[in-house]
Amino acid sequence: MSGVSGSAVDAPGASLGDAVGLPERRRTPAQAARGVVEHAARALGPLLLTLAVGALVLAATGRNPVSVYHLYLLQAAGSWPLLANTFSAATPLLLTGVGTALAFRAGFFNVGLEGSVYIGALATAWVGAGLSGVSGPLVASGALVAGLAAGAAWLLLPALLRTYLAIDEVVTTLMLNYVAIALTSYIVLYHLLYQTIGNAQTRPIPQSVQLSPLVPGTTLTVAAPIALVLVLLYGWFLRHTRLGVEVRMVGDNAGFAAAVGFSIRRAALLTMLVGGALGGLAGGCVVLGVTHNFTSGFSTQPGYGYSGIAIAVLGRNSWFGVLLAALFFGGLASAGGVIQLFGNVPIALTQILQGTLMIFAGVQFVRFHRRRRTLARGQAVPAMREQEV
């Protein structure tokens, strides 16, 4: 079924899509451009609100918001190496953002990528530092695959509970995040401890296995283009594959999708497990490219997985939206550290901006034809409500 090419879907897929209000499969460039503009307009509201709140905090504490924001901009994109750092910081966020968006698009509120990031990172660190006598790139690939598999496996339980017992995935995935953080910290401390510098760390990844910087002096590695390709692949998948149509249909109207023979169960398992895999890959990329070991609690505020949720919501689950939102979060993170140094502004300002952006991420000022999505008790996702049909 998944092997069916795009053209085979044409007749039934497109007409069904029209029936449930899916965008048409073939869009003119003008329509595509309008879609992009609409997404940008939707994301602009939360961004402006966040900048306004930040400006208020800055002004109230006697700082000039304009000059501070200017400094952020300079530090995030003022030169090629700085821009490379922004892209590097955005790399795991692209992966967690797109992994979260995939499940959201199918109507499953999978917020468990933070856990997958930890489990995947630990698996990558374990394989990456453990294998010897094999060529570096081979070990690196193996380590990343291990991270990917571990990240997916971590979300297998909540995915199965969702599909077979109808257990709210919001709660299970959220709870398992805390379990993953404690579990990895336990494993490192009691079974894989190499040294403790602040936090417990595993054995460092050998030089030959590390992802080497594309731009010298930065942490921009081959992981960045890989993440970028995966984001593009996500957009292509949704639009041009049968499974992608299925994912969108289940997300838009699960009852209808089930009635016409699409499998909700398959959509749930697919999107949550692939999401977990992308989370695991994000963790693995950080280990091989940036930290070069697993440090317990390494995914610090706000956490790669949690940022991914905000990015998916801010980007309205579209590949382009995810790309922009991830770059914005990446820029904040990479410039944030320097603000205190040059701007006489406490470093926590970045955390304020990130938190505010998360609060406002889903805010809509102009209501576009879609139903308002509230999260009533036991009805975690809009799709679930329609499944009663």
Partner 1 sequence: MQTILATGLLFTTPILLAALGGAINREAGIVNIGLDGMMLVGAFIAVFIDWKAHNVAVACLAAVAAGALVGWLFALPITRLGANEIVAGLGLALLMPGLFGYLLPIYFGQASTFDPGNVQALGVWHVPLLSSIPGLGPVVFAQDPITYFSWLAIPLTWFLLRRTVLGMHLRAAGHNPEFAVAAGLPLARLRELSTAIAGLLAGLGGAQLALATVQLFNKDMTAGRGFIALAAFYFGNSRPFLTAIAAFTFGMADALSIRLQTAGLPDQIPEMLPYLAVVVALIVVALRRRAAAGLSAVDAVLPTN
- Residues 243-282 touching partner 1, rule: CB under 8 A, are 255, 258, 263-265
State the number of binding residues for partner 1 (CB under 8 A): 71
Stretch that binds partner 1, among 80-88, 206-214, 274-282, 305-313 (CB under 8 A): 305-313
Among 14, 161, 226, 230, contact with partner 1 (rule: CB under 8 A): 161
Length of the chain: 389
Among 77, 153, 171, 214, contact with partner 1 (rule: CB under 8 A): 171
Establish if 43 lies at the interface with partner 1 (CB under 8 A).
no
Contact 96, 151 (CB under 8 A): no
Stretch that binds partner 1, among 2-10, 31-39, 167-175, 239-247 (CB under 8 A): 167-175
Among 82, 95, 170, 209, contact with partner 1 (rule: CB under 8 A): 170
Establish if 41 lies at the interface with partner 1 (CB under 8 A).
no
Structure tokens at 374: 């509230």
Establish if 236 lies at the interface with partner 1 (CB under 8 A).
no
Report how far residue 225's alpha carbon sits from residue 84's, in angstroms, rounded to the nearest whole number.
Answer: 12
Cα 298 to Cα 119, 141, 198, 292, 368, distances in angstroms: 12, 22, 11, 11, 39
Complex with partner 1: residue 87 or 108, whichever CB lies closer? 108
Amino acid (1-letter code) at residue 183: L
Q: Shortest distance, CB of residue 235 to partner 1, whole angstroms?
A: 22
Establish if 222 lies at the interface with partner 1 (CB under 8 A).
no
Using only the alpha carbons of the chain, give its radius of gyration: 21
Helix (H, G, I), strand (E, B) or coil at 201: strand
Stretch that binds partner 1, among 3-11, 13-21, 66-74, 299-307 (CB under 8 A): 299-307
15 Cβ neighbours under 8 A, 6+ residues apart: none
Stretch that binds partner 1, among 82-90, 280-288, 322-330, 349-357 (CB under 8 A): 349-357
Establish if 374 lies at the interface with partner 1 (CB under 8 A).
yes
Q: Is 220 exposed, middle or buried (0-12, 13-18, 19+ CB in 10 A)?
A: buried
Structure tokens at 365: 């000022």
